[in-house]
Structure formats: structure tokens, C-alpha cells
Structure 1
Amino acid sequence: MKVIETDILVIGAGSGGLSVAAGAVQMGAKVVLLEAGEMGGDCLNYGCVPSKALIASASIAHQMRNAQVYGIANVEPQVDYAAGQSHVADVIAQIAPVDSQERFEELGVTVIREFGRFVSDREVEAGDTRIKARRIVIATGSSPLVPPIPGLDKVPYLTNETLWEQTTRPDHLLIIGGGPIGLEMAQAHRRLGSRVTVIEGSKALGKDDPELSSIVLDNLRAEGIEIVEQAQAAKIHGTEGALTVETEDGRSFTGSHLLVAVGRRANTEGMNLDKAGIETSRAGIKVDAHLKTTNARVYAIGDVAGGLQFTHMAGYQAGIVIRSAVFGLPAKASTAHIPWATYTKPELAQCGLTEAQAREEHGDRMEVARFEYHHNDRAIAERKTKGLIKVMVVKGRPVGASIVGHQAGELIGLWSLAINSKLKMSAISGMVAPYPTIAELNKRAAGAYFSPRLFENDKVKAVVRLIQRWLP
């Protein structure tokens, strides 16, 4: 067996692992990278990238059907689902070189395309190679959670990993799971011409602000998507093209295809983590604030660490690990400023505390600044007036922001910066955005925070009257 000694061993070539490998090797560390599957991980091959590509196709179809309001005749699009999937594959292919084995080997990383198993607290075997590393980073990501619903194992079903192999448009797509993945794919397929039924065991978009999520759900229903809540799947049966989901309350739903989108599970199976003294929980690998596991030589980042399951979260955590493992500097991870977005139309985005969370944590000290999309001139011009922004403020500083509406995912980044940098609302209100842009919404939300203090304050008005008497 070949033996390699290295400074840093990265297990998993998804977003987090690739960021650690690229950063560490370019700063002079010796790096070995293990990946048994596809370079780029879930995000590139099965998640973020393909889903947004399909959403783009669906958006074009929707615009064609609803062009009359802009002075252009509505037309029913001729949807070629297989060609749409070719578009998805082409998008992946264009991005793939950035994550490729060739690129990382050019950077100086030793890439081994094998599954890694721990044999000691600092050694991992991959194929015919044993790697001994000073520091190890586990970034193996997550896989679709397949719930133990009776009958599911006996019928054909799709997950986010297999959906992209589908070349025939589903006639009637059943989706188990009303979270972001389920609802994004529900709207995309409805706009591409499929009938869609979403079956959710509790509340759809249950992790988001209910006032804002209701706007998304109302719009999805208006587009013809059936969303059934408080409907726990109890039994599945049928054959290809005719599948039935029965719920605990006695209802049944029949469709041609079934997509399971109920969550994710951390990829830890078969790694022999116990041989390295690494403890796990139901959520994933246990880590401390420094992202270290119960083995101080080993870090875990991204989905496998059991926290927020976002590509940008893994990338952020990679930066924490680089500071710690490469430079030996103290570094802690935080989630207070991590944003997320659901790419339905309208989009739904969140950063920091929701209104309910902020009220529970800060009580009466918390204020909410609100601004509606229908007051934004660019939103009016583009007929995208459905939505609002809420900012939760404590002592003049934002502690959370919730946005629903056009480009919400683009707008939320400013609030991540504000929360992370401890900026005051005055800094946001002092920002100048080009006119007319959707970006003005952030500034106007900050303005809404100050308006009562300036325009509804008798003391301010008295001072202004006094100043006016003395001005020449």
C-alpha cells in the first residue's frame, strides 16, 4: 500500500472541501483531496445549479403565457422537457471546469478519486493509498433523506439526484415535502406544463416567517399548484405512471411521477469515524464553535456538520478552517449573519432572526421596519409589486431581515453585511442606490425605521421651527 504524508487531507470535493483545498494549497500547504463521486458535489451536479437552470427555463415559459400586461400577446409555449434538461446539463458543463480534478491538480492538490475510511485518529485509507495528515477536513456533504414510508421502496420515485435524468415531462408530479426544494421544483414543473400536487406533513415553508411564506404559497396556489398541508404520507402504492400517496387522515393523491423532497441526511456511513474518535448525532458530525470534531485534528464543514445546509454556509466555514488549520489562528464560526433564499417566484429570503425569534429574544426592545414592494418604482415598472421587506432592529442595529418578492435573494446580502459588521440602520439609510432599482427597497426599509422618529416627533418639529426663525 502506498503511503502519503500531507499537511491537510480534505475528504469530499463539494463546495466546502474544494474551498479548503484551493485556499490551503495556494498558501503553501500540502493538500490531498479525496472524492469518490462527482467533483463539485451535490450543489453543482444535483442541487443549486441544475435546479436554478430548470427554474430559468420555467420562468421563460411563464413569461410567454403572461406577456399581455407588457403589451405583448400571450402565447402558449411549446415546452420540450428533454431540451430543457439538456439546457440544465449544459449549464453544469460550463461550471464544471472550475471544480474539476484537472484544475485542482494544476493548483498542486493531490486528487484521489476513492472513498476514504479512517484507520486511526490521523490516518485515512482510500483505495490502495494510506494518507497520514496533520489536519483532516471532512466535507462529505449530504444526500436526499428517503423516509421509511410503507411501499416507497416498491415504486419508482425521484430525488434531487435522479430528477435530472428525467427526459419526459411528468404529466402529474406528486411531491412529498413542502420545503424549499419541493416548492421550487413544484413551481418549475407547473410552469413547464405539469400538474403538481405537494404533500406536506406539517406547514409548507415552516422555517420561514409565516407572513412572508404565505405570500409565496398563495402565489403558487394561484398558478395552479395543489399544496396540501398537515398531510403525513402513510402509504405509497402503484406502478410506473400511476402512483398513489395515501395520508394518515385517509386522503389519497394519484399522479404519474413522485418526487421525494423531505430533507437531507449527513454522509457519514462507512467512514469508520469511531476509529478516529469522532462522535456523531442524528444531524451529523458533532463540531464545536471552531468546527473541530471530538478529534481535535479533524474538522467537519458543510452539510455533514449538521448545521445550516447551504452551499454558501460550507464556503464560509471553509474560510474558518483555513484560518485555523493553515495559519493556526483562533477562528469561530457564527450563523447570525448567514442568509438563505428560496428561489420560487416570488423569492423568499432570510438573514438573522425572524420577527418571532427577535421578539422572543429581545422583547419590547425590538422594532420592525417594513416597506412594501408596491412603493418601489422599479417593481412597478416591471409589474413585480408583490412582496415586502421586514427588518428587525434592536438599539438601532439590524438583527434580522426577511424579504419576499422580486430579487429577494439578491437583496438579502446587504443585511448579512450589516449584521456581520454590526452596522447601524443609519449606515443603510445613508446608502445611495441607483434609481430606479429594486435595491432601493433596502434603503427605503431603513428609512421606514427613521420616519417615525423624524416626521412624527413633536420635539423635532419644535426644534426645526426654532432653527427656521434664526436662519438668515
Structure 2
Amino acid sequence: MLDYDLVIIGGTPAGRYAALTATNFPARVALVEPLSNSQDLPTGGKESIDLGLRYSQTLSEAARFAQQISRQQFGARWEVANSEMPIELRFDGVQKWAEGVVANLEEIDDLGVLAARGVDIIFGSCEFVTKPHLALIVGDRKLRSRCYLLACPTMPAIPNIEGLSSVGFFTSETVGELAKLPKLPKSLAVIGADPSGVEVAQTFARLGVAVTLVVKGSHILTKEDREAAGLVQAAMEAEGVRILTATEVTQARVIDGKKWIQAGPRAIETEEIFLAAGRQHNFASLNLEAARVKFSDRGLILNEKLQTTNSRIYAIGDVAGGYSFPHIANCEAAIAVKNALFLPMYQIDYRGIPWAIFSDPQLARVGLTEAQARRRFGDDLIVGREYFKNVEKAQMSGETTGFCKIVGRRNGEILGASIVGPQAAELIHAIALAVRHGMKVEAIAELPYIWSSFSAINGQTAAVWELQRLRSNTLIQNLWENLFHWRRYWK
């Protein structure tokens, strides 16, 4: 007899979300929470990547708001209206706000809520065994289930930089500890091109820290649209972030009590180091080989139903590879749980899932970039672009930096879209919905948008796209020209 319908190997908010989703059905579910969900990092305060991202984004929002209400800046000081005495930005207040918000968000993932919904919570390290039957060993317990779901945490990827471990560094998991230092560092070196590095670099630059961002690629955010990433990079540099592209950090050391990194030909002094070099997996303790589960450096090998090479074992989240966005992991959880509890008939479709990078300006995308679309579809492509400076709401708000780009085939099929600018993370959803349900560009162009709103840029961009398609059709253009000429002549 089986003990459970589904056993979830968790340690991440995605695992807890999967367990919560499973409680919607009359199934018996267990959630295995590891005692430690991270490697031993040089700095303390280990927490999940999701909580680290929450803290980072909350801190970023607070810093952005402080900058907005403090238009007149004098170094690290802001002038207050009707006051002759400038005041300093109180970082301790920003910090307390971030801590309070994160504490409230943690309540959403509280294990007590899952236990009250009937999920068996089991703490301890675990591994798969296959004899005499497939099962999961947790301590002295053997859990037999119809299916298993891997929602394990990953670890920060530590690049092979000489002396880095001895010098010490922070990661997305420990960004909260960086912000809780007794005093903000005067300088910060961010190594790596992950979105978290961009967000952290810009946030701490706004808090008065001298930030240097070092990336190997020719520009930041290499997975995103080149034009959109370039605009974000320009905005960061305008705010004082020093960005070194096509540069590799080869060494880190402490000299006379000060931290130094060797970035290409440059030796850079920095008080603290933040790593944004991606994530890596640690499957050794799970004994996946015995369960016939294959994986590579990028993650587990999955099919479109989120099954591993063992059809009874599913996987979601960071272990599946790609960006570490919680909402993508939650989308995967909804698919995997239904497949595991019933029949594996649901497939994941990443084309209609949007994501955003919370830089300023924000960068959001769904589907393919222009470069990816051109490689796949060649000349069967039309790109429509509209700028926020042509949107009335943007002019009224004084936020005119950015653009929207829609990439589609000549038949109107939307292949992808990128938005960089104010509220991009909110605006992308309308286009994502169209992609998800196979709607054409025409549908976005014809939707009446509330006046005045930032969302008008979606309709204006779609209208530009439609106009470009019309003008590129010489046959239709000639027919219409002849028609109008004939009507004028005979009238």
C-alpha cells in the first residue's frame, strides 16, 4: 500500500506552493523540508533565493520612492521644501520597511497553514531508494508515494576566482545581510550578469554606494532584447553605476585590510563583493541516479509535462533551469501537481509566461526577442516599436524613457514582446495573455485603452505593427491606389 499520493521534496516557496495547490484535491500529500537549504556561504544569514529576491526588490522600491520624493539632490543629501537645512536619507528607516514587508510575505508560505490544510510536514534530509520499490528515505522513515515532485533549492554558482572564498562575498540569498551591515559599504563590486546583480547594483547606487558592475558579456542582461538591455545599462550608468563589460574577474584578495579584485587589466578596491553569477545544482544527496533520473549542468532533463526521465518523478523551479522567477515556478507547480495526482496530460507552455527585471526603467518580456525570432523565422517577421514619449500619460508623469516592441509573423501571430519603461512589469500582461491564447496583433491594436494610462503603449505599438504590415504589402497598396484613383476619376 502507498503512503501518499504525492510527496514533495521542498525547501523552497515553490515547493510550499505546490503543496498548497495539492490540498485543493482530496489527496494525501507530504512535504519534506530539508534542515538546511543552502551551502555554507562565507557570510551568515542563509535564506531562500525567493526571500532574498523579496528583500532586494522591497529595498529597491523603497530606494526608488525616496529618490522620487527627493528631486533636488546634493551628493548624498536631499533638500526639503521650505527648509534651509538639508536632511540625510535615513537608510535605517528604509531597512526597517524592507524587513517588515518581507516578514509579512513570509506569512504566506508559513508551514502552519499547510499543516492545517492536511499536508504532512516532515523535516530532514532525504534520498531515493529503489529496492524493493521506489521510495524516499527521510531519517528512519520510508515514504512510498504514487509520484514525487522535486522542488529543491539550488545554490549560488561560485565562479572560479582565485582567493574569492577567503575574501568573502554576498549572494542573492544573503543580500539581506548586506543591507543589515552596521554601516553601508562605501563601495560595492557586483560580479555577474544575473538580473539580481542589476537590481542590487542600482539599488545600492541610489543609497549612496559607489558600485562597479563587472560582466563577461558585451552588455548586461544578455538573455534579453539587446536594445532594451542597452537602455537599462545607459540608465544605470547615468545614475553613477560603473559598468565594465567584456571583463572577467580573475582574482580577489585582501591587501592591507582592504578588498581588491582583478577585473581584466584593472585592479579595483571595494569594501564588499556581491555575486550574481547564476545558480548551480546539488543533487548528490538525493541519489537520483538510483531512481534513473538524468540531469546535466543546466538542471534536470524534463519533458513538456515536467516529468524527469523517471515518469513518476516531476520537477519544478530552479532545478529545471532558466531564470529564478517565483511566478514561473508556481506556474510549473500547478501543471506538475495535476499531472502527478491524475494523468500526465497537461503541458507547460513557456511562450505565454511573462517575466520582468526590476531595474529602473523596468524591463519585461514575453516570448522571443527580436534576435531569436529572426534566427527562427527569417524574413517572415515584422517588428513594431513605439516610445513612451508618444504616450500621453508618460508625458503627464514625466516618465518618457523607454519603449515597447512587438515581434510578430506577417500573419499576425505574436512571437514575443519587450517593454522597457515605467510599469513595464504590469503592462506586459496584456500581451502575454494574447500570446497565451493565440490572439493576433490586431486584437491588441483594436482594444480601447483607458485615457490616460500607460497601457496605451500596447495599443499604439500594435497599431504601428499593423501599419508596417500594411505598407509592406505592395499588392494591397497598388490595389487601393488604383481603387481611389478610379473613384476620383469617375466622380
- What TM-score, normalized by structure 2, do the two folds share? 0.88
Q: For 1:59, give the aligned amino acid.
A: R
Matches within 5 A, 1:75-114: 78-114=88-124
Shift of 1:112: 1.3
SS at match of 2:240: coil
Matches within 5 A, 1:202-351: 202-203=217-218, 204-238=220-254, 242-247=258-263, 249-351=264-366
Per-residue CA deviation, residues 286-330 of structure 1 (Å, 9 max, x unaligned), is 212221112111011111122443212211111221231122141
Q: For 1:45, give the aligned amino acid.
A: L
Structure 2, unmatched stretches of 5+, are 38-46, 74-78
Q: Which residue of structure 2 aligns with residue 387 of structure 1?
A: 402
Question: Is 2:22 the partner of 1:24?
Answer: yes
Shift of 1:77: 5.9
The one of 425, 433, 442 aligned to 1:409: 425
Equivalent-residue separation in structure 1 for 2:64 and 2:256 (angstroms)? 29
Instruction: Sort the Cα spacing of 1:267 and 1:187 in 2 relative to 1 into closer, same or farther, 3 A.
Output: same
Q: Which residue of structure 1 aligns with residue 156 of structure 2?
A: 144
Equivalent-residue separation in structure 2 for 1:142 and 1:85 (angstroms)? 26
Q: Which residue of structure 1 aligns with residue 76 of structure 2?
A: none
SS at match of 1:26: coil
Asked if structure 1 preserves the Cα contact closer than 8 Å seen for 2:305 and 2:344, the reply is no
Instruction: Sort the Cα spacing of 1:208 and 1:77 in 2 relative to 1 into closer, same or farther, 3 A.
Output: farther
Q: Which residue of structure 2 aligns with residue 51 of structure 1?
A: 56
Instruction: Sort the Cα spacing of 1:231 and 1:77 in 2 relative to 1 into closer, same or farther, 3 A.
Output: farther
Instruction: Sort the Cα spacing of 1:307 and 1:468 in 2 relative to 1 into closer, same or farther, 3 A.
Output: same
Per-residue CA deviation, residues 256-307 of structure 1 (Å, 9 max, x unaligned), is 1111111111242411212222111111222122211121110111111224
SS at match of 1:443: helix
Question: Is 2:178 the partner of 1:160?
Answer: no
SS at match of 1:369: strand
Instruction: Sort the Cα spacing of 1:349 and 1:90 in 2 relative to 1 into closer, same or farther, 3 A.
Output: same
Asked if structure 2 preserves the Cα contact closer than 8 Å seen for 1:155 and 1:240, the reply is no
SS at match of 1:336: helix
Instruction: Sort the Cα spacing of 1:463 and 1:411 in 2 relative to 1 into closer, same or farther, 3 A.
Output: farther
Equivalent-residue separation in structure 1 for 2:357 and 2:257 (angstroms)? 29
Per-residue CA deviation, residues 81-120 of structure 1 (Å, 9 max, x unaligned), is 3443332221111111221111001111111122222223
Identity %: 30
Deviates more, 1:332-341 or 1:347-356: 332-341
Question: Is 2:197 the partner of 1:182?
Answer: yes
Asked if structure 2 preserves the Cα contact closer than 8 Å seen for 1:44 and 1:96, the reply is no
Equivalent-residue separation in structure 1 for 2:271 and 2:212 (angstroms)? 11
Shift of 1:76: 6.3
Shift of 1:241: 6.8
Equivalent-residue separation in structure 2 for 1:30 and 1:306 (angstroms)? 28
Instruction: Sort the Cα spacing of 1:37 and 1:225 in 2 relative to 1 into closer, same or farther, 3 A.
Output: farther
Deviates more, 1:21-30 or 1:229-238: 21-30
Shift of 1:18: 2.2
Matches within 5 A, 1:421-460: 421-452=437-468, 457=477, 459-460=479-480
Equivalent-residue separation in structure 1 for 2:192 and 2:420 (angstroms)? 21
Q: For 2:124, give the aligned amino acid.
A: E
Instruction: Sort the Cα spacing of 1:459 and 1:251 in 2 relative to 1 into closer, same or farther, 3 A.
Output: same
Q: For 2:91, give the aligned amino acid.
A: Y
SS at match of 1:227: strand
Asked if structure 2 preserves the Cα contact closer than 8 Å seen for 1:285 and 1:305, the reply is yes
Instruction: Sort the Cα spacing of 1:175 and 1:373 in 2 relative to 1 into closer, same or farther, 3 A.
Output: same
Equivalent-residue separation in structure 2 for 1:76 and 1:262 (angstroms)? 39
Equivalent-residue separation in structure 2 for 1:426 and 1:259 (angstroms)? 45
Instruction: Sort the Cα spacing of 1:421 and 1:240 in 2 relative to 1 into closer, same or farther, 3 A.
Output: farther
Equivalent-residue separation in structure 2 for 1:468 and 1:90 (angstroms)? 71
Equivalent-residue separation in structure 1 for 2:324 and 2:480 (angstroms)? 47
CA-atom RMSD, angstroms?
2.8
Shift of 1:131: 1.1
Instruction: Sort the Cα spacing of 1:278 and 1:452 in 2 relative to 1 into closer, same or farther, 3 A.
Output: closer
Equivalent-residue separation in structure 2 for 1:270 and 1:240 (angstroms)? 41
Asked if structure 2 preserves the Cα contact closer than 8 Å seen for 1:65 and 1:77, the reply is no
Equivalent-residue separation in structure 1 for 2:349 and 2:224 (angstroms)? 19
Equivalent-residue separation in structure 1 for 2:28 and 2:97 (angstroms)? 38
Shift of 1:60: 2.0
Question: Is 2:137 the partner of 1:131?
Answer: no
Deviates more, 1:397-406 or 1:57-66: 57-66
Equivalent-residue separation in structure 1 for 2:91 and 2:284 (angstroms)? 35
Instruction: Sort the Cα spacing of 1:214 and 1:270 in 2 relative to 1 into closer, same or farther, 3 A.
Output: same
